[in-house]
Amino acid sequence: MQDGSSFLVYSGIEGADVTVECSFPSSFIRKFFCKETFRQVDILIETTNATDYQSGRYRIVHKQGGYLVTISQLTKSDSRGYCCGAGSNFHRLQTRKLKSSLWMQNLLVVLLQKKQSMLELEKIL
């Protein structure tokens, strides 16, 4: 889901973990992490009140002003666009119609080979 905003970029190595930071207004109670596919947003993990919640390879840990999401055991297919989100209710996401009760943040996770450097990452972007 691209709304003209820029992406925050995170990198990791295959088999390792990566943690991304999601910032959001404190008034939202629903927190989620999703992957972006063509014309669709798939929620990978979501929670309301849990301070620490895990589902499969995804883990949400709440912190002041947002939350952290860890993707464990990175694979090549994890190199893609993601979004963090927070909302005041549990309406379903629609890629073309975001309601004012929903807040989104775009992320990009790039998988690096062990020998690649941050300079090579800059070339990719």
pTM of this structure: 0.72
Longest dimension (CA), the chain: 44
Is 113 exposed, middle or buried, given 0-12, 13-18 or 19+ CB atoms closer than 10 A?
A: exposed
Stretch 36-60: mean pLDDT: 83
Give the contacts of 53 (CB within 8 A, at least 6 positions apart): 45, 47, 59, 60
What class has domain 8-124?
mainly beta
In three state form, how does the secondary structure of 6-75 look?
Answer: CCEEEEEECCCCEEEEEECCCCCCEEEEEEEECCEEEEEEEECCCCEEEECCEEEEEECCEEEEEECCCC
pLDDT-derived band at 95 (thresholds 50, 70, 90) equals very low
**What are the sequence ranges of the domains in the chain?**
8-124
pLDDT digits (tens, 9 = 90+) for 107-125: 666 666 555 554 554 555 4
pLDDT at residue 100, rounded to an integer = 41
pLDDT of the residue at 57: 95
> What percentage of the chain carries pLDDT values higher than 70?
59
- The pLDDT score that the predictor gives to residue 26 is 67
Does the pLDDT of residue 44 top 80, yes or no?
Answer: yes
Best CA proximity match to 34, nearest among 88, 104, 83, 95: 83
